[in-house]
Amino acid sequence: MTPIVSGQPGRLRAAILEEMRDELLLVMLIAVAVACFSFARPTFFSVSNLLSIGQQSSIVAIVALGMTGVIVARGIDISVGGTMAATGIIAAIVLQATGSGVLAILAAIGSGAAFGGLNALLVAGLGISPFIATLGTMALTKGAALSLSGAASIPVSDPFMLWLGQGSLAGVPAGFLLAVALCGVWLCFLRYTSHGRSFFAVGGNPVAARASLISVVGIRSLTYVLAGMSAGTATVIAIGRLGSAQPLAGNGLEFAAITAAVVGGASLSGGKGSPFGTLLGAIAVGTITAGLAFLQFSQQIVYMVSGGLILVAVLLRGDLSWSALVRTASPGAVSLTSRGDETCLLDVAGLTKQFSGIKVLNDVSFRLRGGEVVALLGENGAGKSTLVKCISGVYVPDGGRVQFGALPKEAFAEDGADIAVIHQHFSLVPDLTIAESLSLGNEPQSFGLLKRSSMRSKAKAALSEVGLTRDVDVPVRLLTVGERQMLEVAKALLSSARLIVMDEPTSALSNRERDRLYTIVRKLAGEGRCVLYISHKMEEVRELAGRAIVLRDGRMVGDVPMQEADDRALVHMMVGRSLENVFPWVEAPLGPVAIEVKGLRTSGLVADVSFSVRRGEVVGLAGLMGSGRTDILRCIAGLDPYASGEIRLHGDRMSTGAQGFASSKGVAFVPEDRRLEGLVGGMNVRDNLALVWMRRGSKFGLVSLATLRRNAAALIRQLDIRPPDPGKPAGTLSGGNQQKVVIGKWLAVNPSIILLDEPTSGVDVGAKSEIHSVIGKLKSEGAAILLVSSELPELLGVSDRVVVVSGGRSVGEMPRGTSEEAVMELAFSTTPKSSSNRSEVCR
Amino acid sequence: MNRLRALSANIAPISLLVLVFIGCALIDGRILAPANLMIILTQSVPILILALGAFIVLLTGGIDLSAGVSVTLGSIVIASMLTTGANLFPALAAGLVCVVVIGIANGTLVTLFRVPAFITTLATMSCIQGISLLLATRGVYVINEPALKWLGTGRVEGIPVSILVAIIVICAAYVLMHHTRVGLRTYATGSDPTATALANISTSRVLMLAYVIAACFTFLAAVMLIARTPIVTPNLGGQSLLLDAIAACVLGGVSIFGGRGTVLGVVAGSLIVSLFANALRVIGVDPSSIDLMKGALVISALVCDVGIARLRGGVLKEESHDYR
């Protein structure tokens, strides 16, 4: 946290202090260590001894600098020790063969780059976990060193080769000077070049980095190659110090390098780290090691101290998620008192839940009885999922109570959980078989051994009930999405839960599967259980439910028997809201067509979509969740591929997945999940605003920091980002201000086509209208804007035209001024043709 | 069809073993001479047992780098107690306690403090190395314990005792991993911790147990190692044994992303590693090059692992798993 100090210089100083905190702590640590050792042995504090420590630390420091790059980009390289040994031997062999010290040094660095390239191929290219991949390379390089040298050290006497390890400039050892110089090079690289700055973005949030047109694979590869080259450079100093190339050189070096980087402030979860800190870290580790040796502690103690050091550093930095442990609520948080009237199964009273100040649920009260099917209706974002999570104990409510009433125990054989939730996101373990996953958590066993036969027969019975004809020994990951959905249902059947929540259970089902599900739901109700059924499809709700609970904006607006309300009344209840929102709409001159989409189809949700957007207009895409709205935007941005159809940007055809082309045509994409795809949360506002700009605005890859600051200040003013502090980590801003940063990131490159996916979700009222006025301003400046929003009044208020999408098809287009009901009816429409096609697509 | 694919994945390590076997027969008949085969089998025993322990941790999506040096520590504790006149059982018990304490420490750091598995075990590895050197005050211990010797070199009905021990351990591991709750939950946790937690299973407990069970296997590996080579030094076990064990797992089809792999696969993988090393020696490859070959073997196995995953159409798990 940056302390807020009035007056610019004071705040600047505080910010610098804050930024340098780790480094200052390290300097103090080094000073304290030197003081302690000098106190114990006065001879420790001599210039020659300190210089020698510096020289010793330089090998670790140079390797650790390369390691810092890798760690910043969220990787790890434990092959550096092996690489150092192998490159040393290669350099010595080249020296023997050619007699040229220059060639030998080049060979060391070049072969280091090659080994780094191997890591890059394995990790960035093939996607192998960096840890295991570099473990393999470590074995290979250590083996190569032994093999090439015949397990014997190779003496080196070339003075040029030896100078770095033995020579000095003005009394300071050359190796140490090199380490300091390289530290400076790394500092400049990470600060002033677009590639270097990309390291932090890739490590902080690879998804957002990709969405900001940064080549994640390229940057990751670069980090490994640089780490290999660093090891190759360090080897030259090591050879100089010993006067020979050792096949066993670099033993434990990877550990020392990781320690130095982590102690110096690099975060193992990526996105953080500084070369200067790493240099100090290497010196600190070197000082402590040398000091312990000086006090004649044995090597053993030194090992243990360095082992402890890294653990302490990792724990103290606190960037690991272990604090989340405290916050995780156990499923037992819901009170399970057994009182109340006999038929009442669940009693929810005055339930309130808020996230960062926004009330997602506001005083919700209802009761559920055994033997009934209740529909839970509401628009996207009305609070349905939050309600389910509060009931099932995933969230702890901020107010009100959730209570399971008493039902005769004997009605249910086992005393299991009271509630089973069939999730939209699957809760099945992919690598287990069907039989195993159905029993997980409640496995039958005798004498400590699993009763596989009873697991199988139980699973078979459940499968036949839901109509799945699958071998129960097939792993879950091989099932289709629809089959998994039915398996989830089977799992709920097997449980003894009295309340079963189904969240959009038919979205992935074929018609046949859906009919089977209806039968099961009725059967469950017949057994005296209660089914809470969440769906957007009116026909389903009519078919199954006896009663509907309607939520809107987190409030309960209706609890009506189905026969008393027709569809129109229910829709009205869901969307009808007070007229408190006034949307600023400005007239703008229409320009030429900027986006033209014809017959777009993807392998996912989008089946057949056509529309166009002209410059100077806002087109809204309306549709239910899962209708394919987001997919359309992602196709236009080039983030996802499409199967057939055509997209034209400013008249030019765009091929599938051409992210680069889209961006060259001025496409900006503001994603739905800004934390996941929009921002690099750990990075400050200024750098986030420059994510896209820095590559276009840079000359020869060099970024002008002055321009970067000026741009950031201008954007913060233009968008009124609060607090107006460019140094604040973007992840700590409020939702609305985070969204402004994501929009600002694109405004920095003057986009002509802007795709907005739910730009105001989770944003408070004030920031919302500010975002709306930004949209209006961009429109009048001639941008073509495509807007997706689940909030219909917003969509209707901001857009010039609305295109309605249902089941992956564009089913209609409406002019400005159309009513919510008209749009909703179109969006809810499921003509037989489209629904059958839909299930085909999903299967 | 799906069944067939699943089956082929299980058979892959065994067919690889057969292929290596045939390859060896073609290159040099001496490798497959009965006497040499027996050597390969007995040599594979410590690798196999350690690999089974590493397998359990890999299943959870983690890794135990401290296993190799734990073998060293266990060996030294047992050896130093035996050479100072202690009886066999107290010595073994002391060794077991030491190794299990390390397992508990690893488990605690990984579950309670959420330190990534490899950082945890890298740090404990360094500590254990220090402790081993500290304990090994005499440098070299020569064990002269008849019971241990019988375990390492004795024969029952012509079959080496160590191989019988290995068979018992394999059976125990098989039952544990494939026929008990612990095993099933370990697979589940490694495959998808969130979904497993949704089934009301404490994944922390599963992880903790995995590290402790792995430690028990590590201890057994140490016992079998000193039974065969009665000269114990601080260089016994360590990095190269660990690398062999991890190579055995990867060759045996254990996914480095957690959740996949079988006991039989690990057995086949261990035999491949042992056979490979022995074959190189018999052919007369320079001992200094054997490590290089092994490294190449591990990398090819990793590349194959990715290849198989892509062939199966399985999506590689996301980056967030990197450090677990």
Helix, strand and coil in chain A, % to nearest 5: 55, 15, 30
Q: Are A132 and B62 in contact (CB under 8 A)?
A: no
CATH 1.10.3470 residue window(s) in chain A: 21-318
CATH number at residue B58: 1.10.3470
Query: Within a 10 A sphere around the Cβ of A444, how many other Cβ atoms?
Result: 14
Partner B contacted by A139 (CB < 8 A): yes
Mean pLDDT of chain A: 82
Q: Which domain holds residue B152?
A: 13-308
Q: CB neighbours of A555 closer than 8 A, spacing ≥ 6?
A: A362, A363, A364
Give the pLDDT confidence score for residue A338 in this predicted structure.
Answer: 38
The two tokens of residue A57 are 């630390």
Residues 80..139 of B with a Cβ closer than 8 Å to A: which? 109, 112-116, 118-120, 122-127, 129-134
Classified as helix, coil or strand, A595 is strand
> Which of A74, A89, A129, A319 should we substitute to test contact with B (largest number of B Cβ atoms within 10 Å)?
A129
CATH number for the segment(s) A370-390+410-575: 3.40.50.300
- For residue B174, the distance in angstroms to the closest alpha carbon of chain A comes to 12
- The answer to whether the complex's ipTM is over 0.90 is no
Contact A140 B292 (CB under 8 A): yes
| Residue B131 within a domain | yes
Q: Of A202-211, A277-286, A335-344, A817-826, which gets the smallest average pLDDT?
A: A335-344
Q: Which residues pair with A433 in a beta bridge?
A: A475
Q: Which of B239, B294, B287 is nearest to B269 (CA)?
A: B294
Chain A residues with CB under 8 Å of B288 CB are: 146-147, 149-151, 247
More confident residue, B230 or B57: B57
Q: Cα(A502)–Cα(A531) distance, rounded to whole angstroms?
A: 7
- Is A221:A728 a contact under the CB 8 Å cutoff? no
Interface of B with A in 238-267 (CB under 8 A): 243, 246-247, 250, 256-257, 259-260
Q: Which chain A residue is nearest to residue B247, measuring alpha carbons?
A: A136
Rounded to an integer, what distance in angstroms lies between the CA atom of residue B191 and that of residue A475? 11
Tell me the pLDDT tens digit for each residue of A735-788. 788 888 999 999 888 899 999 998 887 676 677 778 888 888 889 989 999 999
CA distance to A291, A336, A341, A498, per residue, from A404 (Å) = 65, 5, 11, 9
Confirm or reject contact between A144 and chain B (CB < 8 A).
yes
**Chain A environment of B2 (Cβ under 8 Å):** 474, 478
Enumerate residues 6+ apart whose C-beta is below 8 A from A516.
A466, A467, A486
- Domain assignment of residue B7, yes or no: no
pLDDT > 70 in chain B, percent = 91
pLDDT tier for residue A19 given thresholds of 50, 70 and 90: low
User: Which chain B residues are Cβ-neighbours of A450 within 8 angstroms?
Assistant: 179-181, 184
- Asked if the structure places residue B289 within a domain, the reply is yes
For A480-525, the pLDDT digits (tens) are 777 888 888 888 777 777 888 888 777 667 777 788 888 888 888 8
Confidence of residue A801 (pLDDT cuts 50, 70, 90): very high
Q: Rounded to whole angstroms, how far apart are CA atoms A502 and A376?
A: 10
How far does CA A156 lie from the centroid of its chain? 49
Maximum Cα interatomic distance, chain B, rounded to a whole number of Å = 62
pLDDT recorded at residue B303: 82
Q: Give the helix/strand (H/E) hosting A607.
A: none
| A252 vs B contacts (CB less than 8 Å) | 126
Phi and psi, residue A505, nearest 5°? -70, -20
The SS3 of residue A633 is: helix
Residues constituting chain A: 843
**Contact between B130 and A304 using a beta-carbon 8 Å cutoff:** yes
Tokens 């032994």 label which residue? Answer: A146
Alpha-carbon span A480 to A97, nearest angstrom: 61
Out of A310, A428, A442, the one facing B123 most closely (by C-beta) is A310
**Closest to B298 (Cβ–Cβ): which among A136, A306, A450?**
A136
pLDDT band at A392 (very low <50, low <70, confident <90, very high): confident
pLDDT single digits (tens) A105-115: 999 999 999 99
pLDDT at position A426: 65
Strand duo A419-422 + A445-446: pairing: unpaired
Rounded CA gap, A156 and A29, in Å? Answer: 37
> Which of B321, B70, B121 is CA-nearest to residue A310?
B121
Structure tokens at A189: 């690289």
CB within 8 Å: B196 and A440: yes
Looking at the predicted structure, is the pLDDT value of residue B70 above 50?
yes
Q: How far apart are CA B291 and CA B285, in angstroms?
A: 11
- Looking at the structure, give the CATH architecture of the domain made up of residues A581-666+753-763+781-843: 3-Layer(aba) Sandwich (3.40)
Which of B5, B187, B247 lies nearest to residue A431, judging by beta carbons?
B187
pLDDT at A508: 67
Chain centroid offset of residue B283 CA? 26
Nearest residue of chain B to residue A300 (CA atoms): B130
Which residues of chain A make contact with B132, given a CB cutoff of 8 A?
300
* Count, residues in chain B: 324
**Which residues numbered 405-464 in A keep a CB inside 8 Å of some CB on B?**
417, 423, 426-432, 436-437, 440-443, 445, 448-450, 452
A121 touching chain B per CB within 8 A: no
**Closest CB from A268, A301, A432 relative to B187:** A432
**For residue B311, with 0-12 CB atoms within 10 Å meaning exposed, 13-18 middle and 19 or more buried, which class applies?**
exposed
Tokens of A357: 């100040």
**How close does chain A come to B26, measured CA to CA in Å?**
25
State the fold for domain A21-318. ABC transporter involved in vitamin B12 uptake, BtuC (1.10.3470)
Decide if pLDDT at A297 tops 50: yes
Helix (H) or strand (E) holding A506: none
Cβ atoms of residues B58 and B321 within 8 Å: no
- At A108, the amino acid letter reads A
How many CB pairs (< 8 A) connect A and B? 222
**Amino acid B314: pLDDT:** 45
Chain B positions touching A141 (Cβ under 8 A) are: 295
Look at residue B8 and tell me if it is in a domain: no
- Averaged pLDDT for residues B109-117: 83
Per CB-CB distance under 8 Å, the chain A contacts of B123 are 307-308, 310-311
Task: Read off the pLDDT of residues A631-666 as tens digits, 9 standing for 90 and up.
Answer: 899 999 988 888 899 999 998 999 888 888 888 889
Mean pLDDT of A282-309: 78
- The answer to whether residue B318 sits within a structural domain is no
Identify the residue with better confidence: B210 or B85.
Answer: B210
- Separation between Cα atoms, residue B182 and residue B209, nearest integer Å: 8
Task: From residue A601, give the alpha-carbon distance in Å to each of A113, A392, A656, A775, B191.
Answer: 44, 38, 11, 28, 33
Q: What's chain B look like in SS3?
A: CHHHHHHHHHHHHHHHHHHHHHHHHHHCHHHHCHHHHHHHHHHHHHHHHHHHHHHHHHHCCCCCCCHHHHHHHHHHHHHHHHHCCCCHHHHHHHHHHHHHHHHHHHHHHHHCCCCCHHHHHHHHHHHHHHHHHHHCCCCCEECCCHHHHHHHHCEECCEEHHHHHHHHHHHHHHHHHHHCHHHHHHHHHHHCHHHHHHCCCCHHHHHHHHHHHHHHHHHHHHHHHHHHCCEECCCCCHHHHHHHHHHHHHHCCCCCCCCCCCHHHHHHHHHHHHHHHHHHHHHCCCHHHHHHHHHHHHHHHHHHHHHHHHHCCCCCCCHHHCCC
Higher pLDDT, B94 or A382: B94
- Kindly report, residue by residue over B153-200, the tens digit of the pLDDT: 888 888 889 999 999 999 999 999 989 999 999 999 988 888 888 777
Say whether A753 sits in a helix, a strand or coil: strand
CA distance, residue A216 to nearest chain B CA (Å) = 12
3-state DSSP call for residue A692? coil
DSSP state of A513: H
Asked if residues B270 and B51 have their Cβ atoms less than 8 Å apart, the reply is: yes
Residue B10 has a pLDDT of: 64
pLDDT for A841: 32
* Residue A484: partners with Cβ closer than 8 Å, 6 or more residues away: A426, A428, A476, A508
Residue A345: CA atoms inside 13 Å, Cβ hemisphere, count? Answer: 22
Contact between B179 and A426 using a beta-carbon 8 Å cutoff: no
In a domain, B3, yes or no: no
Contacts of A188 (CB under 8 A, 6+ apart): A196
- B127 and A304: CB-CB below 8 Å? yes
Q: Tell if the CB–CB gap between A449 and B179 is shorter than 8 Å.
A: yes
Quick check: A475 contacting B, CB < 8 Å?
A: yes
Q: Which band of pLDDT confidence, cut at 50, 70 and 90, is reported for residue A328?
A: very low
Instruction: Provide CATH 3.40.50.300 ranges for chain A.
Output: 370-390+410-575, 581-666+753-763+781-843
Residue of A nearest to B65 (CA): A135
pLDDT at res. B124: 87
The pLDDT-based confidence of A13 (bands split at 50, 70, 90) is low
pLDDT in tens, A549-577: 988 878 888 888 888 877 777 777 776 65
What are the CA-CA distances from residue A110 to residues A94, A116, A136, A138, A840 (Å)? Answer: 12, 10, 20, 17, 54
Q: Report whether A232 contacts A218 (CB < 8 A).
A: no
pLDDT greater than 80 at residue A320: no
What would the pLDDT profile of A76-97 be if each residue is shown by its tens digit? 898 999 999 999 999 999 999 9
Residues of B in contact with A137 (CB under 8 A): 295, 299
pLDDT score recorded for residue A415:
38
Alpha-carbon span A611 to A373, nearest angstrom:
40
B294 touches chain A (CB under 8 A): yes
pLDDT number for residue A268:
78
Q: Which residues of A touch B190 (CB under 8 A)?
A: 431
Q: Which residues between 61 and 90 in chain B have a beta carbon less than 8 angstroms from any beta carbon of chain A?
A: 63
Q: Are strands B231-232 and B141-142 parallel, antiparallel or unpaired?
A: antiparallel
Six-digit token pair at A471?
A: 């071998």
Min Cα distance A202 → chain B (Å) is 11
pLDDT at A216: 92
Nearest chain B alpha carbon to A258: B119
| Residue A406 pLDDT level (bands cut at 50, 70, 90) | low
* Bridge partner list, A815: A801
- CA end-to-end span of chain B: 33
Counted domains in chain B: 1
| Residue with the larger pLDDT of the pair B246 and A408 | B246
The pLDDT of B124-146, averaged and rounded, is 83
DSSP state of A424: S
A682 conformational bin, left if phi > 0, alpha if psi -120 to 50, beta if neither: alpha
- Check whether the bond before A723 is cis (ω within 30° of 0): yes
Give chain A positions within 8 Å (CB) of B191.
429-432
In whole angstroms, what is the distance from residue A306 CA to residue A286 CA? 10
pLDDT of residue A321: 45
How many CA atoms within 13 Å lie on the side-chain side of A560? 18
Cβ contact B134–A448 (<8 Å) = no
Please tell me the distance from the alpha carbon of residue A739 to that of residue A768, in angstroms, as a whole number: 10
B10 at interface of A, judged by CB pairs closer than 8 A: no
Lowest mean pLDDT among A226-235, A617-626, B215-224: A617-626
How close, in Å, is residue B77 to chain A by CA atoms? 16
